[in-house]
Copies of this chain bind each other. A is one copy, B any other.
Amino acid sequence: MGKINVGLVGFGNVGSGVIKILQDKKSFLRAKIGLDITVKKICDKDITSKRNVSIPRNLLTKDAKEILQDPQIDIVVELIGGIHPAKEYIIEALKNGKNVVTANKALLAQEGKELFAYAKDRNKSIYFEASVGAGIPIIKSLREGLVANNFFSVFGIVNGTSNFILSQMSNNNCTFSEALKEAKSKGFAEKDPTLDIEGIDSAHKLVLLTYLCFGRLVSLNEIFIEGISRISLFDVNYAKELGLEIKLLAIAKKVSDELEVRVHPTLIPRSHLLSSVCGVFNAINVSCDLAGNLLFYGPGAGQLSAASAVVSDLVDLTKGIRAGLFQSTLNIQVDKTIKKLRSINEIESRYYIRFMANDQPGVLAKISGILAKFGISIASVTQKEWHKAKVVPIVMIIHDAKERNLRSALDTINRLNVIKQDAVAIRIEEV
């Protein structure tokens, strides 16, 4: 019975989950793959805190070199997160002939071009199943299960924190800040929740999904990113009355020969499965030429869920290493029908728009006149009676309009005297 030696860098939450699985399921995994996955060394800057697994003290080190430079270690698992020194560790591991497993979406989103190329040059692989959707096997599915497909779009809910907040607002009628507070108290949001609620974490994951589906590693600044922190309960409830649910979607979509890549709050019809994805769950919708329209759903985070994905990567690499199969991943192909990325100004979308206007004659005429001037056509408009108020909300759904035109129209409307605050505009996705 052979064995594959693994070195783990980063003995935190997910790291100790990985160790726990490899310990608890040693014989189970051995029976499945025909050899042992053995952890030879674990590196962390903190080697004294208690974890929920017990390991021999001599497995622990504070010095990553003991892993990166150990010729007996076949696979390095990087779970420290952040850009530095994670990047340098991965580079050194690859240089020293090791394959790499990581859950580090921020790193891959920012430095993926260099890292993947570096690995390829050395006939080594970087596996990253845990970086999107935790235990949902979305990366394997896109890469292997749908290997023969060309993709039209990939979009979904890839950040559990923001989905929890939006679900709370929609289902329990609470404000953004109340929902955020609850997310924090439940451990679903970090002390500084910026990465999650401002869409940056979603954008990191979108970079990877776009890479897998379209073969392009876009950089973060090529993605339009808008978070959920300005979503009001009023709009959540109003949209609901219109049969729409609000979700923070990460979207990569081919439109003729251009690719749209964007993260923003999105209204979707209640008939779409994504609208029913609540709480910290993730779901990714994939549309492709052969297998059609698919959806993958599951918990988007969690110690064992992410560790499940890391271990599946380890098993795949182990099989590949045993067989002498390098590079063991399938090559990702660039979709050559895509000529360029489409800037957010050029995208076309339906919109939910809310104006806050003085309750006086002629307001609607003014607004709709300006919209018409910019070629924007109104699908529906609602102005409810607003008890004794002087300022009333006017909610419109507009037909497909170019973002640039809409922005110009809204700028003009926002400057009207009768308008009392900047218009709220939320994209509606025809999913």
Interface residues of chain A, those whose CB is within 8 Å of chain B, are 21, 25, 28-29, 31-34, 129, 134-137, 140-141, 144-150, 271, 273, 276-277, 283, 288-299, 302, 304-305, 307-309, 311-312, 315-316, 319-320, 322-325, 330-333
Query: In the complex, which residue of chain B has the Cβ closest to the Cβ of A302?
Result: B292
Partner of A276, one of B32, B276, B291: B276
Partner of A296, one of B25, B32, B296: B296
Given contacts A315-B330, A331-B32, contact A25 B141 (CB under 8 A): no
A315 CA to B149 CA in the complex, in Å? Answer: 12
Q: With CB as the reference atom, state the residue of chain B lying closest to A331.
A: B32
Chain B: CB-nearest residue to A37: B148
Cross-interface CB contact of A144 among B34, B146, B315, B330, cutoff 8 Å:
B315
Checking B135, B146, B311, B324 against A312 with a beta-carbon cut-off of 8 angstroms, the contacting residue is: B146
CB <8 Å contact, B29 and A148: yes
- In the bound complex, CA of A324 to CA of B146 (Å): 23
B149 near A294 with CB under 8 A, answer no
How many Å lie between the Cα of A58 and that of B136 in the bound state?
Answer: 45
List, in ascending order, chain B residues with CB within 8 A of A136's CB.
291, 294
Which residues on the B side are within 8 Å of A33 (C-beta)? 147, 330-331
- Of B28, B294, B299, B324, the contact of A293 (CB 8 Å cutoff): B299
State in angstroms the CA–CA spacing of A316 and B323 once bound together: 14
User: B135 and A140: CB pair below 8 A?
Assistant: no
A295 touching B292, Cβ below 8 Å: no
Q: When chains A and B are docked, how far (Å) is the Cα of A88 from the Cα of B145? A: 28
CB<8 Å pairs between A and B, sample of 13: A28-B333, A135-B292, A135-B294, A140-B144, A141-B141, A146-B312, A290-B307, A291-B309, A292-B299, A292-B302, A293-B299, A297-B297, A325-B325
Known pairs A28-B148, A290-B308, A296-B297. 20 more at Cβ < 8 A?
A: A29-B147, A33-B147, A136-B294, A137-B137, A137-B145, A140-B141, A141-B141, A144-B144, A146-B308, A273-B273, A276-B276, A290-B304, A290-B305, A290-B311, A293-B299, A294-B296, A294-B297, A315-B330, A320-B323, A323-B323
Query: Is the Cβ of B308 less than 8 Å from the Cβ of A291?
Result: yes
The list of the 5 closest CB pairs from A to B, nearest first, reads A137-B145, A135-B291, A290-B308, A294-B298, A323-B325
Q: Which residues of B contact A309 (CB under 8 A)?
A: 145, 291
A135 and chain B: residue at smallest CB distance:
B291
CA distance A309 to B146 in the complex (A): 7
Report yes or no: B305 in contact with A292, Cβ–Cβ below 8 A.
Answer: yes
- Whether A311 lies near B148 (C-beta < 8 A) is yes
Q: List the B side residues contacting A296 at CB < 8 Å.
A: 294-297
Q: Is the CB of B291 within 8 A of A298?
A: yes
Contacts of A308 in B (CB 8 A): 146, 148-149, 288, 290-291
Inside 8 A of A302's CB, which chain B residues have their CB?
292
The interface residues of chain B lying within 8 Å CB-to-CB of A145 are 129, 137, 140-141, 309, 312
> In the complex, what residues of B have CB within 8 A of residue A304's CB?
289-292
Q: Which residue on chain B has the smallest CB distance to residue A333? A: B31
**How far does the alpha carbon of A319 sit from the alpha carbon of B325 in the complex, in Å?**
8
A129 to B97, CA, bound (A): 34
What residue in chain B is nearest A311 (Cβ atoms)?
A: B148
Q: Please determine whether A148 and B25 come into contact, CB atoms closer than 8 angstroms.
A: yes
Instruction: Assess whether B137 is in contact with A144, with CB atoms less than 8 Å apart.
Output: yes
Q: Quote the shortest CB–CB distance from A429 to chain B (angstroms).
A: 17
How far is it, in angstroms, between the C-alpha of A333 and the C-alpha of B292 when the chains are bound? 32
Assuming the A-B contacts A140-B140, A276-B276, A331-B31, are A148 and B293 also in contact, with contact meaning beta carbons closer than 8 angstroms in the complex?
A: no
B315 in contact with A147 (CB, 8 Å)? yes
Contact (Cβ within 8 A) B325 A290: no
- Please report the C-alpha to C-alpha distance between residue A137 and residue B34 in the assembled complex, in whole angstroms: 24
Q: Is A293 in contact with B289, judged by CB distance below 8 angstroms?
A: no
B291→A148 contact, CB < 8 A? no
Interchain nearest-CB distance for A165 vs B (Å): 19
